[in-house]
A and B are shown apart, each in its own frame.
Chain A
Amino acid sequence: MSAKMVRLLGVGKQYSNCRYVLRNISFDLHKGEFAYVTGVSGAGKTTLLKLLFGMEKASEGQIYVNNRDLGSLNKNRLFQYRREVGFVFQDFKLLPDLTVFDNVSLPLEIRNMSPKEIDYRVKGVLSLVGLSDRADDYPPVLSGGEQQRIAIARSIVGKPSLLLADEPTGNLDSTNAREVMALFQEIREMGTTVLIATHDEALMQMFPTRTIELQHGEMMADKGAAK
C-alpha cells in the first residue's frame, strides 16, 4: 500500500451559531489516489475541501496532509502549504485582466522562478489542457469549459502533490464536463492525489472511483476505499 497523502481523524467543523457543518469525518487518501466527495448541496463538501486547503480550521479532530498537521499551521506558513496543494474553484477564480498565460503563471511567479522556467512549464500545462493557442487571450473571452481548464492548468502548474476541485463541472455542459474529468484522470496518472467534490451522479458513473458520501455533515459511506 502506498503512503498516505491525506488523513482525517474525527474532523468536525462548527460555526459560531453552534451548527455543525461537518462531524466526525475520518478517512485516508493515498498518494496518487483519485476520489470523489459527494452529497447534496449543504452536505459539507465545500467545507471539507476548505479545511483541506487551509481556508478554514477544523473545530475538532486532526487533518494531516503529507504528514503535516494542518491544525498547527499558522497564518504565516499557510502560503507555503498552499504551494503544495492545487485548488480548482467552481467559479474558476481567474483574474480577468490577466492573459491566460499570466493567470497560469501566477503560482510560478510567486515562487520567483526564472522567466525561462515559467515559460516552459506554462506552455506545458496549456498543452495538456488543450489551450496552447489561447495563451494571449483574456478569460472573459473564453467559454466556461475553457475557463475551467485554465483554472485546472493554474492549479497543476506548480506540480502539487494534492489537487482539490470543488464542483469543477458545475458550470459546464456535458461535453466540457467529460473533457475536464478526463483531464483530472490524466493528472492523477501523473502521480497527483485528486479529490473532487461533486454531486454529478452521471459523471461519477462515467469515471467510477472511490466515493466518500456526506449527508448533513456526516460521512454516510466510503465506497471503493482501498482496504
Chain B
Amino acid sequence: MKKHRGLKRTFTDFRRHPWLHFISIFTITIALTILGFFLIAFRNFEQVAEQTSPKVTGTVYLQNGLSESQVRLLRERILALENVIRVSFKSKRTVMEELSEFVGGAQPDSIAAAELFPDVLELEIRKDTSSAGLIVLKSIVSKYPEISEVDFSEDWLAQYHRVRSVLRIFGIILMVGLLVGCSFIIANFMGMRHQSRRNEIEIVQLVGAEKTFILAPFLWEGFIEGLVGSTFALLVLYLLKMVISFFIHSGWATLLGARGWLYLSPVQGGLVLGVGIAMAFLGSITVFMRFQQES
C-alpha cells in the first residue's frame, strides 16, 4: 500500500514538474550517450585490431635427405603442439619457383645456388599466441633433429602486442574516467534538483512524515528517470550506430570484417543501463541523507 502511494506521488510529481523531469532524463541520456559511444568505439577498435592483426607464421628449414614419411611424421608432431593451427610442406623446388617468380621469371635451374635451398615446413600459429608462447614453441621445434633452422616472426609480433596492450590500457583508463565523470554529472544533477525541493521535504517532515514516506518518491523518481534516461541513451546509440554503418560501410568494410560496425555488447548495454539507474538512484539517496543530517 505504502509502496503504491510512493509511486502514485512520484507520478503526480512527474505531472506537476514535467520540465524538471524532462531535463533530468535529458541529462542522463546525454551523459550515458557519451559513455556508450565511447564503449562502441572501443569495441569497434578492438574488432579492427583483431581483423588487422598479422598472421603469425613460422618457417622451419629441414635437413637434407629426409624421406616423405619422415616429413609426414614431423608435420604431425608439430601440428600436435600447442598454438599450431596448420603445417604445410614446401619442397625446395616450390621454394625455388617462388623465388624465381619473385626475381623476374628466371628458370629455377639457371639459379646458381638453387640446390642450396632446403625443404621447408610453414607453420600457421594462433593469432592470440603470446610472445612467451612463441618462444616456447620455437625452442621445442628447434630441438627436433630433422630440423636445421627455425625462423619465427616473434620479435615484431611482440612489438605489435605491446602497442596493442598500451592502447587497450589507455582506452580502459579513458573509459573508467568517463564512467566516473558520467556518474558524477548524474548524481550531482539529481542532487541539485532535489535541493530545489527542500521546501517540500521540510513541510512534509513538519506534518509528521517518517523517513520512508519522504524518501519513497525520490527513490522511485531516481529509478524511473535512470531507467528512461539510459533506455533513451541506448536508442540514440543504436541510431548513431545505424548512421555510422551507413556512411562507413563501403570504405571500412575490409577493416571491420563481415560483422560491420558493431553496437554495444550485452555487457556494455547492461553497464549503460546499470550506471543510469544506479547513479540516479544513489543521487536521490545521497541528497536525502544530506538533507536529513542538516535538518
Question: Residues of A at under 8 Å CB distance from B?
Answer: 55, 79-83, 87, 93-95, 97, 106-107, 109-112, 154, 158
Q: Are A110 and B203 within 8 A (Cβ)?
A: no
Partner of A112, one of B2, B203, B205: B2
Minimum distance in angstroms from A112 CB to a CB of chain B = 6
Measured CA separation A111–B204 after assembly (Å) = 12
In the complex formed, the residue of A with least CB distance to B203 is: A93
* B198 interface residue (CB < 8 Å to A): no
Asked if A82 and B207 sit within 8 Å, CB to CB, the answer is yes
Whether the pair B204, A110 counts as a contact (CB closer than 8 A) is: yes
Known A97-B16, A97-B17; judge A109-B200 contact (CB<8 A): no
Contacts of A93 in B (CB 8 A): 202-203, 206
Quick check: B16 and A106 within 8 Å, CB to CB?
Answer: no
Chain B binding surface, main DSSP class: helix
- Count of CB-CB pairs between chains A and B under 8 Å: 43
Q: Is the CB–CB distance between A83 and B5 below 8 Å? A: no
One of B1, B207, B211 near A154 (C-beta < 8 A): B207
Residue interface bits B190-229, CB-to-A below 8 A is 1, else 0: 0000000001101111111111010000000000000000
Tell me the count of chain B residues lying within 8 A, CB to CB, of chain A. Answer: 18
Bound: A83/B200 CA distance, A = 17
The complex places the Cα of A95 from the Cα of B198 at a distance, in Å, of 11
Which of the listed residues A55, A94, A97, A110 has the most CB atoms from chain B within 10 Å of its own CB?
Answer: A110
**CB closest residue in chain B, given A160:** B208
- 7 A-B pairs within 8 Å (CB atoms) are namely A79-B211, A81-B208, A83-B208, A97-B16, A106-B209, A110-B208, A154-B207
- How far, in whole Å, are A82 and B1 apart by their CA atoms in the complex? 22
Query: Is A79's CB under 8 angstroms from B205's CB?
Result: yes
A87 touches B210 (CB 8 A): no
Q: A82-B207, A94-B203 are in contact. List 5 more A-B contacts (CB 8 A).
A: A80-B208, A82-B206, A95-B199, A106-B203, A112-B1
